[in-house]
Amino acid sequence: MNFIKQLNTNKLLVIIVSFILAITSNNLVYSKTLDTPKISPQLIKNNAIFTISQISDNIKFSSNYYDKLLEADRFYKQGDLQTAKQIQKQVKPDFPVADSPPAAEADLSKLDAKAKQYWTTAIEAIEEDPTAEEAITSRIFEPLKSLVKEYPGFIPGHILLADTYDLYSEEDNALRVIEKASEMYPGRDDVLDNKIDLLLTYGKYLEASIAAREFAYSYPNYHKTPAYEQAADKYFQQYQKKLKSKITTSGILGSIGQVATGNESSALEISQMLLTGENTAGQAFAASIKAQSKMVSNSRQLEYINDIGQRLAKLMGRDEFTYEFNIIDDPSPNAFALPGGKIFFHTGMLQLMDSEAELAGVLAHEIAHSVLSHSYKRIGESALTNTASNLLSSVVGREVGAVAKVGELLLSQKFSRGKEKQADVLGLRVLDAAGYSADGLYNVMAKLKQLSGKSNFAESLLSSHPASSERMRYLEELIQNKGYNRYGYEGVEAYRAVFPR
Looking at the Cβ atoms of 338 and 402, the one nearer to Zn ion is: 338
Q: What is the dihedral of CA 91, 95, 96, 97, to 10 degrees?
A: -120
Q: How distant, in Å, are the alpha carbons of 40, 49, 177, 222, 467 from that of 473?
A: 11, 10, 21, 30, 10
**Residue with Cβ nearer Zn ion (270 or 467):** 467
Task: Determine, following the binding rule CB under 5 A, whether residue 465 of this chain makes contact with Zn ion.
Answer: yes
Do 346 and 335 touch, CB atoms closer than 8 A?
Answer: yes
CB nearer to Zn ion: give 269 or 420. 420
Nearer to Zn ion, 294 or 414 (CB): 414
The residue among 190 and 420 lying less far from Zn ion, judged by its C-beta, is 420
Nearest distance, CB of residue 186 and Zn ion, angstroms: 21
Least distance to Zn ion, CB of residue 218, Å: 22
Is residue 374 a contact point for Zn ion (CB under 5 A)? no
- Smallest gap from residue 361 Cβ to Zn ion (A): 12
> According to CB under 5 A, which residues from 109 to 128 bind Zn ion?
none
Closer to Zn ion by CB, 77 or 414: give it.
414
* Site for Zn ion contains 204 (CB under 5 A): no
> How many residues touch Zn ion (CB under 5 A)?
3
Residue of this chain nearest to Zn ion (CB atom): 465
Of the candidate spans 142-150, 371-379, 400-408, 460-468, the one that interacts with Zn ion by CB under 5 A turns out to be: 460-468
What are the residues facing 345 on neighbouring strands?
Answer: 327, 335
Long-range contact pairs involving 142-145 (C-beta distance under 8 Å, separation at least 24): 143/117, 143/118, 143/119, 144/118
Contacts of residue 169, defined as CB under 8 A and 6 or more positions apart, other chains included, come to: 7
Q: How far is the CB of 268 from Zn ion (least distance, A)?
A: 32
β-strands 342-346, 335-338: how paired?
antiparallel
The contact pattern for Zn ion, residues 324-363, with x = CB under 5 A and - = no contact, is: ----------------------------------------
CA angle 469-472-477, nearest 5°?
Answer: 125
Contact 27, 34 (CB under 8 A): no
- CB nearer Zn ion, residue 313 or residue 423: 423
Between 231 and 423, whose beta carbon lies closer to Zn ion? 423
- Check residue 489 and report its DSSP letter: B
Based on CB atoms, which residue is closest to Zn ion, 427 or 491?
427
Instruction: Provide the minimum distance between the beta carbon of 55 and Zn ion in the complex, in angstroms, as a whole number.
Output: 21
Part in contact with Zn ion (CB under 5 A); list of ranges 58-66, 257-265, 458-466, 471-479: 458-466
The residue range among 207-215, 219-227, 235-243, 463-471 that interacts with Zn ion, by the rule CB under 5 A, is 463-471
- Least distance (Å) between residue 374 CB and Zn ion: 8
How many angstroms separate the Cα of 430 from the Cα of each of 160, 209, 323, 364, 436? 32, 17, 16, 7, 9
- Give dist(CA 371, CA 109) in Å, integer: 43
- Which class for 229: exposed (0-12), middle (13-18), buried (19 or more C-beta within 10 A)? middle
Is the Cβ–Cβ distance between 362 and 335 less than 8 Å? yes
Instruction: Decide: 221 and 33 in contact? Cβ < 8 Å.
Output: yes
d(CA 98, CA 156): 24
What's the count of helices (H) and strands (E) in the chain, helices before strands? 27, 3
One symbol per residue from 399 to 438: x for binding Zn ion (CB under 5 A), - otherwise; what is it? ---------------------x--x---------------
CB of 223 to Zn ion, least distance (A): 35
* Beta-sheet pairing, 342-346 with 324-328: parallel
Between 247 and 423, CB nearer to Zn ion = 423
Q: Is-contact 343 359, C-beta < 8 A?
A: no
From the CB of 415, what's the least distance to Zn ion, in Å? 6
Give which of 231, 422, 407 is closest to 316, Cα–Cα. Answer: 422
Q: Which CB, 188 or 378, lies closer to Zn ion?
A: 378
Cβ partners under 8 Å of residue 147, min gap 6: 115, 118, 119, 122, 154, 157, 161
* Minimum distance of Zn ion from residue 44's CB (angstroms): 27
To Zn ion, the closest distance from the beta carbon of 349 in angstroms equals 13
Question: How far apart are CB 227 and Zn ion at their closest, in Å?
Answer: 31
Q: Which residues bind Zn ion (CB under 5 A)?
A: 420, 423, 465
